Amino acid sequence: MKKNNLPENKNLDLIRALIIKHKKNDHIFAGIGFFVIASLAVALLVLFLDLLINGYPKINLEFFSNFPSRKPEMAGILSAWMGSALVLFVTFFVAVPIGVAAGIYLEEYAKKGWFADLIEINVSNLAGVPSIIYGLLALGLFVYEFGMGQSILTAGLTLSLLMLPIVIVSTREAIRGIPVHIREAAFAVGATKWQVTWHHVIQYAMGGVLTGIIIGMARAIGETAPVITIGALTFIAFLPPSPVTEVAPFINFDWLDAGFTVLPIQMFNWISRPEHAFHINAAATGAVIIMLTLLMNGVAIKLRYNIRKKIKW
Amino acid sequence: MVKKQEIIKAESRNFNFFYADGTHALKDINVPLYEKRITALIGPSGCGKSTFLRSFNRMHDLYPGNKYQGKIILNPDDTNILDKKVDAIEVRMRISMVFQKPNPFPKSIYENVAYGLRVRGENNKRMLDDKVEEALKGASLWNEVKDRLPDLAFNLSGGQQQRLCIARALATDPEIMLFDEPTSALDPIATVNIEELMSELKKKLTILIVTHNMQQAARISDYTAYMYLGKMIEFDETDIIFTNPSKKETEDYITGKFG
């Protein structure tokens, strides 16, 4: 026995040197990670601030309540944000039920096999297809084949195609995150598959599903190419018929057939004008789009947090 | 060897089980479960005890490709619960299960216990209240939770969660209750509570328990089956298994020479 009771083959200095050497990797990795994240965040921030500073003089209530105009100081984004809102409304009500149902079917009901694999690969691939391809598909299918015209309905359906894979994939991920033992607990008391799906799977997956939905919506709101492809208007000084009416039955669907424009197209339109004043409008519109996107992502994070707080596996 | 007055509640006959990958997990198992008795399954890890237990409420049906062979007869109606014509849900409504890890739903205490009744279409508030109270009392949890039934089940301690799961399984008046190592995730005091609870429960129903803890099997069970490599090595009264087993393998395992 030595004085410090260490066995002969242990050399504390060597062990400590080894630990320091190994820990160096931690620091290196953390350093690189921080650098990458920071540069991305700074790039985004600079972009956003640039838009905000340029567009700041225009961002006021009138900007939201005026139609576009030939005079840049009079021009606003009323028809654009209204168009975006209505298109997203359609997108939401088409993509969410279909996407969530498809996710549940694929995860819970579909027999595993080559067919399921094929669908799986296809869905993942669809998420990566350039959005202009969806625009072309919609132009051929919705606009000409189905005769829906260059309407809000067409745009909504097109963007829902774009959003569908995101919703499906996030639904499946969320369902896979539910532990087997919770599922088995429900089956063990005699629940049917549908009861397990309805009472448990959907409820516990809701956090992840919502996140997917809002991220999909945030992507849809900024999409320009497919909406241009199907022939959205670039200058529009009227609103679609109101979805809510004063006489019974108080709702109408005429707005689905109306022409429209959306925020990114309005922005694109102003950028391509020579006058500098229009560029300010474009910057303001860009700032609005980014703020909307950030807002939606913020809501998604908050919702997910609220739902997950209640669930501990 | 087996006392005359015992009634057989369920019995496996030449039971074989194959996993989807072809593994022959259980080989010719013949075990009776006596009514209002506790039968313990012991054996080293991987011997098939849990696989056998889970066959009793057709849990293996949840994963495609698994195959049962032979019979598990449920009395008094002489139903072969493995028969394809018998719906797995019907079996699970008669035979309930408590799992290794407490697995309450992320719902309120009340809804956890009421769930088994809800899936049976019971929506009468009064009826549900009564049943929930009865089940929680049966699981000796009522006094601890009666003032906070709407609280989330996750706020309970591990031992309380496991008793909640027992209440959930109890609420539907099962004929047999299966326990898959119910105390392996619990501390010693919670374990004693669960063991006492099981001794209380056997006055009303039949219990099959898988346990890694031989002292536990010796303490609470009336019959013990020793399994090894998917085979039933020996089945007898617990006293006999632990004091005078007839097979050498059983003795080796019991005395700790093996396993």
pLDDT tens by residue, A211-232: 889 888 888 888 888 888 887 7
**Residue B124, in any domain of the structure:** no
Q: Which of B60, B97, B103, B152 to probe the A interface (max A CBs under 10 A)? A: B103
Instruction: Identify whether B66 is part of a domain.
Output: yes
Q: B132 lies in a domain?
A: no
B132: contact with A, CB 8 A cutoff: no
pLDDT at position A165 is 92
- Two tokens, residue B167: 């209440």
Q: Which residues of A touch B (CB under 8 A)?
A: 111-112, 179, 181-192, 195, 199-200, 204, 310-312
The answer on A148 and A212 residing in a single domain is: yes
Query: What are the phi and psi torsion angles at A154 (to 5°)?
Result: -60, -45
Range of the domain at B195: 8-102+172-254
Burial of residue B57 (number of CB atoms within 10 Å: 0-12, 13-18, 19+): buried
Tell whether A15 and A159 lie within a shared domain: no
Average pLDDT, integer, range A223-251 = 77
Instruction: Clarify whether residues A249 and A301 are in a common domain.
Output: yes
The number of domains in chain A is: 2
From chain A, pick out residues whose CB is under 8 angstroms from the CB of B119.
189-192, 195, 199
Please tell me the predicted confidence (pLDDT) of residue B116. 92
Nearest by CB to residue A181, choosing from B103, B115, B168, is: B103
What mean pLDDT is predicted for residues A132-147? Answer: 89
Give contacts of A183 with chain B, Cβ < 8 Å: 62
Minimal Cβ distance to B154: which of A179, A195, A312 = A312
Stretches in chain B below the pLDDT threshold 70: 1-4, 259
User: Are A137 and A272 in a shared domain?
Assistant: yes
pLDDT tens digits for B79-92? 999 998 999 999 99
The per-residue pLDDT for range A254-267, each reduced to its tens digit, is 777 777 888 888 88
Per-residue pLDDT of A156-207, as tens digits, reads 999 999 999 999 999 999 999 999 999 999 999 999 999 999 999 999 998 8
Query: With 50 as the cut, is the pLDDT of residue A153 above it?
Result: yes
Residue at which a domain ends, from A39, A58, A77? A58
> Looking at the domain assignment, is residue B111 inside a domain?
no
Residues A115, A146, single domain; the answer is yes
Q: What percent of chain A has pLDDT over 90?
A: 29
Give the model confidence (pLDDT) of A87-135 as tens digits: 899 999 999 999 999 999 998 888 888 888 898 888 888 888 888 999 9
| Cβ–Cβ below 8 Å for A312 and B59 | no
As for how many domains chain B has, the answer is 1
pLDDT at position A2 over 70:
no
Range of the domain at A164: 60-309
Together in a domain, A145 and A34: no
Please report, for the domain that includes residue A141, its CATH number: 1.10.3720.10
pLDDT at A273: 86
pLDDT tens readout for residues B177-215? 999 999 988 889 889 999 999 999 999 999 999 998 889
Q: What is the pLDDT of residue B4?
A: 60
Q: Which residues of A touch B115 (CB under 8 A)?
A: 186, 189, 191, 199
CATH, residue B234: 3.40.50.300
Is there a domain that residue B117 lies in?
no
List the single residue in A with minimal CA-CA distance to B168. Answer: A189
Q: Over the stretch A263-289, which tens digit does the pLDDT of each residue have?
A: 888 888 888 888 888 888 888 899 999
Place A248 in a pLDDT band, splitting at 50, 70 and 90: low
Same domain, A65 and A54: no
Do A84 and A10 fall within a single domain? no
One domain, residues A84 and A105 = yes
Flag whether B141 is in a domain. no
Q: In chain A, whose CA is at the least distance from the CA of B156?
A: A312
Residue of B nearest to A194 (CA): B119
Average pLDDT, chain A: 86
Q: Is residue B158 part of a domain?
A: no
Out of A58, A76, A106, a domain closes at: A58
Comparing CB atoms, the residue among A181, A192, A200 nearest residue B99 is A181
At residue A1, the pLDDT reads 45
Domain shared by A2 and A101, yes or no: no
Are residues A44 and A188 located together in one domain of the fold? Answer: no
